[in-house]
């Protein structure tokens, strides 16, 4: 319809090629700046990392001159690298345990989904941990766990339990760091569910109540299905957050004790820029493994989004 | 409403709920409250082993004064501002355009480009680390705020595009059609029709990106070193190295570093939450 209007309007002077095709040119003009930035800093580097992972290179000078092409040697080395195995296992722990943020967030949001006086302020204050930087969260929890004066051990002392050095114990340290990460992540999931609960259809709830549904059954059969969009986003951000964990480990344990809290993201950094020297190729190989793990989830997310797009 | 509103429940539960709220909040924020208490205590409390007792004197002004006047902290804070603000402006500007292009126009590559932005936004930082560091060094921008800003703009464009595109999709398309019938140029449609409607989305994204970038630590460590360019997240670690075991100062420093995004959140709460839900949950 709009096409005919334009033709009518411009009938007396011959419209230029640019003018006639503006609807197909315009999107590309709008896209160009963003695409250039994104291509240079995100898309191309992903492929470059794959390429770098086939080199033995210390990061100094030009890679094609000073580095040595080693094929898949870095990946072969990874197979027998015990530090890599620890990191991989820890990543699985992070992934599984981090998901606890979703039910925990749902629980808190149900607790706070009321209309009593001052509840808005309560909601904001519960959300607080998410807004502060992970560096600060890390410091706060390091002190919380401190064997000498940490609040955790003060509390344990009330129950007559001996103090434990969470971050100094190789079997506990990773769980200690994950717990610190769960704090802000639960707050995030909570806010997602609070927004979701707002959108729950009150008529359905009332109808279910008349049918005698309440408590857990109501939650499971009526409320949770309606919270599906919130759950999906909570799932996405939690998975991403779990695989991105770096700040907390760097601040709280720096990979220790005895390398027991390493995850792939941290080990990669350590290998390429850390104190264990500059092995860019090896680091890139670790990054590629991490990327491939993430890719499984990325494909799943995109697939879900694609289904929804088509459904519109 | 679920769960049942407390007003409709028994008097006992109402009272229990009302008293449970502050207790729960206190427990939830306890690690943070502890740091706040630390930050106003005098040095002697720590050497004397009085960690959790009442502060023997109020030293809040002294401690925070030291952070502001006797350390590099103000410098780091300023760096953070000069990194965060240009990034917010850049990423929001770029994504207004990409979001407009992907939300309004129908062309074959549309969904693919959109998915490329989304996928890129999800990749682990480490897969970008070595090449981005090289690129930054090659451009002579290593250890500069500009280098950090350029990368942040590029990376955040992925998330921002996702957000903006979905937002624009939800706008009434008849408005754009009407403008086209009027023969208004495409860039004018963008500027005069769509952009004014995007204000809430711009506000939401701005606060969100501000928080993300302010709190970034990984890229700060990878692309900068030293007080002339490092943001406060990286600066706090050197600050802590300087005042090792001076818990009162480290606490005060941490709180100062954490405050700007917190202030942002409380000032722009509504927008912030709209942004967090990625515009998907209304």
ipTM of the complex in this document: 0.88
Whether residues B100 and A30 touch (CB distance < 8 A) is answered with: yes
Whether residues A34 and B7 touch (CB distance < 8 A) is answered with: no
Question: CATH code for B71-276?
Answer: 1.10.3720.10
Q: Where are the domains of chain B?
A: 71-276
Average pLDDT over residues B76-88: 94
Q: Which of A72, A78, A68 is nearest to A50 (CA)?
A: A72
Better-predicted residue by pLDDT, A18 or A73: A73
Q: Which of B112, B123, B62 is nearest to A309 (CA)?
A: B112
Whether residues A223 and B278 touch (CB distance < 8 A) is answered with: no
Say which residues have a Cβ less than 8 Å from residue A197's Cβ, sequence separation at least 6.
Answer: A109, A110, A113, A223, A227, B2
Helix (H) or strand (E) holding B21: helix B11-28
> Which chain B residues are closer than 8 Å to A52 by Cβ?
130-131
Residue with tokens 């804070």: B77
Q: Which of A270, A290, A283 is nearest to A55 (CA)?
A: A283
* Arch. (CATH architecture) of A82-263+287-311: Orthogonal Bundle (1.10)
Whether residues B29 and A27 touch (CB distance < 8 A) is answered with: no
User: What b-and-e string marks burial along A92-105, b requiring 16 or more CB atoms within 10 Å of the CB?
Assistant: ebbbebbbbbbebb
> Which chain A residues are closer than 8 Å to B35 by Cβ?
139-140, 143
Cα B25 from chain centroid (whole Å): 23
Average pLDDT over residues A84-89: 94
Query: Distance, in angstroms, between A141 CA and closest chain B CA?
Result: 7
Whether residues B132 and A41 touch (CB distance < 8 A) is answered with: yes
Q: Which residue, among A3, A37, A123, would best test binding to B if mutated, counting the most B CBs under 10 Å from its CB?
A: A37
* DSSP string over A28-69: HHHHHHHHHHHIIIIIHHHHHHHHHTTEE--SSS-HHHHSEE
Whether residues A287 and B127 touch (CB distance < 8 A) is answered with: yes
Q: Which residue, among B26, B117, B127, would best test binding to A if mutated, counting the most A CBs under 10 Å from its CB?
A: B127
Q: Provide the token pair at A204.
A: 């359905």
> Which chain B residues are closer than 8 Å to A136 by Cβ?
236, 254-255, 257-258
Instruction: Quickly state the pLDDT bin for A214 (edges 50, 70, 90).
Output: confident
Whether residues B97 and A33 touch (CB distance < 8 A) is answered with: yes
Average pLDDT over residues B67-85: 90
Say which residues have a Cβ less than 8 Å from residue A72's Cβ, sequence separation at least 6.
Answer: A54
Whether residues B129 and A272 touch (CB distance < 8 A) is answered with: yes
Whether residues B278 and A233 touch (CB distance < 8 A) is answered with: yes
Say which residues have a Cβ less than 8 Å from residue B205's Cβ, sequence separation at least 6.
Answer: B91, B92, B95, B160, B163, B164, B275
Q: Provide the token pair at A88.
A: 């991989």
Count how many pairs of residues, chain A against chain B, have C-beta atoms within 8 Å: 294
Strand partners, A55: A69
Least confident of A173-182, A270-279, A292-301, B10-19: A270-279
Q: Which of A130, A112, A132, A131 is nearest to A122 (CA)?
A: A112
Query: Distance, in angstroms, between B219 CA and closest chain A CA?
Result: 10
pLDDT at A1: 43
Q: Find the residue in A nearest to B90 (Cα).
A: A34
pLDDT at A198: 85
Whether residues B2 and A219 touch (CB distance < 8 A) is answered with: yes
Query: Coil, strand, or helix at residue B10?
Result: coil
Query: Distance, in angstroms, between A171 CA and closest chain B CA?
Result: 23
* DSSP string over B151-219: HHHHHHHHHHHHHHHHHHHTS-HHHHHHHHHTT--HHHIIIIIIHHHTHHHHHHHHHHHHHHHHT--HH
Average pLDDT over residues A272-292: 88
Least confident of A15-19, A189-193, B69-73, B203-207: A15-19
Tell me what the pLDDT averaged over chain A comes to: 87
Q: Which of B171, B179, B44 is nearest to B99 (CA)?
A: B171
pLDDT, tens digit, for every residue of B187-241? 899 999 999 999 888 988 898 899 999 999 999 999 998 888 999 998 888 888 8
Angstrom distances, CA of residue B266 to CA of A207, B24, B216: 37, 20, 20
Phi and psi at residue A56, to the nearest 5°: -105, 110
- Which of A52, A131, A200 faces B130 most closely, judged by CB atoms? A52
Dist CA A76 CA A79 (whole Å): 5
pLDDT, tens digit, for every residue of B95-147? 999 999 999 998 889 999 999 999 999 999 999 999 999 999 999 999 999 99
Query: Coil, strand, or helix at residue A1?
Result: coil
Q: Where are the domains of chain A?
A: 82-263+287-311
Whether residues A139 and B118 touch (CB distance < 8 A) is answered with: no
Q: Provide the token pair at B22.
A: 């502050």
Q: Which of A277, A260, A126, A279 is nearest to A191 (CA)?
A: A126
Average pLDDT over residues A244-264: 90
Cα B51 from chain centroid (whole Å): 32
Contact B176, B194 (CB under 8 A): yes
> Which chain B residues are closer than 8 Å to A177 by Cβ?
none
């Amino acid at each position: 319809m709009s096409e005919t209007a334009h033709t009518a309007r411009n009938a007396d002077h011959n419209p230029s090629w640019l003018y006639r095709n503006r609807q197909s040119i315009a999107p590309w003009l709008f896209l160009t700046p963003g695409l250039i930035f994104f291509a240079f800093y995100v898309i191309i580097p992903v492929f470059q990392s794959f390429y770098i992972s086939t080199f033995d290179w210390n990061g100094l000078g030009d890679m094609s001159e000073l580095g040595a092409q080693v094929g898949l040697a870095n990946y072969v080395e990874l197979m027998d690298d015990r530090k890599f195995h620890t990191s991989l296992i820890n990543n699985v722990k992070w992934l599984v345990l981090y998901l606890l943020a979703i039910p925990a967030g749902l629980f808190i949001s149900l607790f706070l989904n009321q209309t009593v006086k001052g509840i808005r302020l309560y909601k904001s204050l519960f959300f607080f941990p998410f807004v502060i930087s992970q560096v600060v969260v890390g410091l706060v929890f390091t002190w919380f766990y401190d064997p000498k004066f940490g609040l955790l051990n003060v509390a344990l002392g009330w129950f007559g339990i001996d103090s434990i050095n969470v971050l100094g114990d190789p079997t506990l340290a990773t769980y200690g760091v994950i717990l610190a990460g769960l704090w802000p992540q639960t707050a995030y999931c909570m806010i997602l569910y609070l927004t979701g609960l707002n959108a729950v259809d009150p008529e359905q709830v009332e109808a279910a109540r008349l049918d005698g549904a309440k408590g857990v059954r109501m939650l499971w059969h009526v409320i949770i299905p309606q919270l599906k969009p919130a759950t999906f986003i909570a799932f996405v951000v939690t998975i991403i957050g779990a695989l991105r964990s770096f700040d907390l480990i760097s601040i709280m344990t720096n990979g220790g004790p005895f390398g027991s809290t390493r995850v792939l993201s941290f080990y990669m950094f350590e290998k390429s820029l850390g104190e264990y020297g500059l092995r860019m190729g090896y680091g890139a190989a670790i990054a590629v493994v991490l990327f491939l793990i993430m890719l499984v989830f990325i494909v799943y997310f995109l697939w879900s989004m694609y289904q929804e797009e088509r459904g519109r | 409403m679920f769960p049942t509103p407390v007003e409709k429940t028994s008097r006992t539960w109402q009272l229990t709920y009302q008293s449970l709220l502050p207790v729960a909040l206190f427990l939830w924020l306890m690690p943070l409250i502890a740091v706040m208490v630390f930050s106003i205590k005098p040095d002697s409390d720590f050497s004397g082993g009085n960690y959790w007792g009442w502060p023997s004197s109020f030293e809040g002004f002294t401690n925070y004064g030291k952070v502001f006047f006797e350390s590099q902290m103000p410098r780091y804070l300023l760096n953070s501002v000069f990194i965060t603000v240009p990034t917010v402006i850049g990423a929001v500007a770029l994504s207004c355009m990409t979001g407009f292009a992907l939300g309004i126009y129908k062309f074959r590559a549309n969904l693919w480009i959109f998915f490329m932005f989304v996928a890129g936004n999800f990749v682990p930082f480490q897969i970008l680390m070595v090449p981005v560091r090289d690129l930054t060094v090659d451009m002579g921008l290593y250890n500069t705020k500009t280098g950090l800003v350029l990368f942040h703009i590029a990376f955040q464009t992925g998330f921002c595009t996702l957000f903006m595109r979905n937002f624009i999709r939800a706008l009434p398309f008849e408005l754009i059609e009407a403008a086209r019938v009027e023969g208004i140029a495409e860039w004018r449609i963008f500027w005069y029709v769509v952009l004014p409607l995007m204000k809430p989305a711009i506000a939401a994204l701005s606060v969100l990106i501000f928080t993300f970038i302010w709190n970034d630590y990984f890229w700060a460590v990878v692309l900068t070193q030293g007080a002339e360019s490092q943001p406060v997240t990286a600066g706090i670690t050197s600050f802590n190295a300087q005042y090792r075991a001076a818990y009162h100062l480290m606490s005060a420093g941490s709180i100062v570093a954490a405050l700007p995004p917190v202030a942002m959140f409380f000032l722009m709460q509504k927008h912030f939450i709209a942004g967090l839900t990625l515009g998907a949950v209304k």
